[in-house]
Amino acid sequence: MALVGCGSALPAASVSNAALSERVDTNDAWIRSRTGIGARRVAGPDETLTSLAAEACTHALAHAGWSPESLDLILLATSSPDDLFGTAPRIQACLGARNAVAFDLTAACSGFLFALITTAQYIAGGSVRRALVIGADQLSRWVDWDDRRTCVLFGDGAAAVAVEACDADANGLLGFRMRSDGSRNGCLTLAQTDQRQALLGNLSAQRGGFAPIHMNGQEVYKFAVREVPAVLAEVLEACGTEANQLDWLLLHQANQRILDAVAERFKVPPERVLSNLASYGNTSAATIPLMLDEAVRDGRVKPGHRLASSGFGAGLSWGGALLRWSGPQG
C-alpha cells in the first residue's frame, strides 16, 4: 500500500488561550507550560464533521490526481460523527464517489492509525485498489467548556490520506503494532448518560445522550510516555530500522511533553519531531493526517521519507507504525 496524496480542512474560527481565559480560570502560560497548546479551531454553525471531511478528501484526491469515481473505499476514523449510524456514506455522497463503499471506524485518538492499518489489509487482500483514509473529529461539541482540565486541550479538524495498491518496493506501511487495554477505559471517556424514559408500567428505556469528555490527565500522560516508546521500539525492531534512520517522528498531537519524552527516548532531535499542537490542539483522530498534510505541503516530508508514527488515547488503545511517503512533494 502506497501513501500518495493528502489533504486537510480546518474550521475558520480559532480560539486562543487568551480568549479561553475569559471564560475559565486559566491563562496562556499555564496552558502552554502543561500542553504546548496555544490555540484550537472550533467548528461554526455552517461547519460540520461531514463538510470538513469532504473538503479534506477533495484536497487529497486533487493531490493524488484521482477522480472520486476511482475510489473503492472510504474509511472514516472518528469518535464524533454527525450521525451515529455512520457519517462516511455522507462523505461519499458529497464527493460523488459512487463506486466506493464507505463506513466509520471508532478508536478515538488511535483511530486514524487503526483505519490506515485496516485499509492496508483490504488492499493486501486484493478487494480494494484505491482508498481514502480519513481522520476527523469535532470534539468541541462534547467538551465541557467550563472544565479547564479538558476544555483547553481539544479542537476540531479533518484530514485524509489517499492510498493505493503498489508493488513491494513502494510499500508505505512498512510495519505496525496495535494494542488495547479496556481495564484502563475509565481514564478517558465520552460515555452515555444514564437518563431513563418511561416505557410500559415499571419498564423504562435508556434515553440516548452523552456526558462531556472526562479524562484523568495524569494517568493518560503516564500511559502514553510508557506505552508509545515501547510499541514503537517493537515496530522498529521488526522492520530492522534504527531510530537514527528515521526522517521524522509523527505522533498523535496530544501533549508536547509526550512528544518530547518519546523523542528523547529514541534520541530524535527536536527538529525531526513534527508538531502543530500550538496552533490546533488535540483534534483526536485528525491529528496524525493533519500534521502529515502540513509537513508534506511545506516541503518537510519528501518522497521516500520514513516516519515513525503512533496513535494513542481512549480505550485505552494505542499503536505504532513505520510509514514511507510516496506521494508528491508540496
Contact in structure between 319 and 179 (CB atoms under 8 Å):
yes
Q: Which of 59, 63, 252, 305 is catalytic?
A: 252
Distance CA(330)–CA(121), nearest Å, equals 28
- Distance, in Å, from the CA atom of 292 to the CA atom of 323, rounded to the nearest integer, reads 11
Quick count: other Cβ atoms within 10 Å of Cβ 312? 27
Q: Which of 6, 151, 187, 282 is catalytic?
A: 282
Residue 80's nearest CA partner among 314, 329, 330 is 314
Map grid coordinates 481522520 to a residue.
Answer: 135
At position 201, the amino acid (one-letter code) is: G
Secondary structure of residue 28 in the 3-state scheme: helix
Which one of the listed residues 6, 57, 109, 151 is annotated catalytic?
109
Task: Give me the residue label for grid cell 495498491.
Answer: 165
252 as an active site residue: the answer is: yes
Whether residue 109 lies in the annotated active site: yes
C-alpha 37/C-alpha 32 separation (Å) is 5
Write out the DSSP string of 55-123.
Answer: HHHHHHHHHHT--GGG-SEEEEE-SS-SSTT-SHHHHHHHHT-TT-EEEEE--GGGHHHHHHHHHHHHH
C-alpha cell, 17: 488561550
Cα 250 from Cα 265, distance rounded (Å): 14
Q: Where are the beta strands (DSSP E) in 201-262?
A: 203-206, 214-215, 248-251
**So which residues are the catalytic ones?**
109, 252, 282
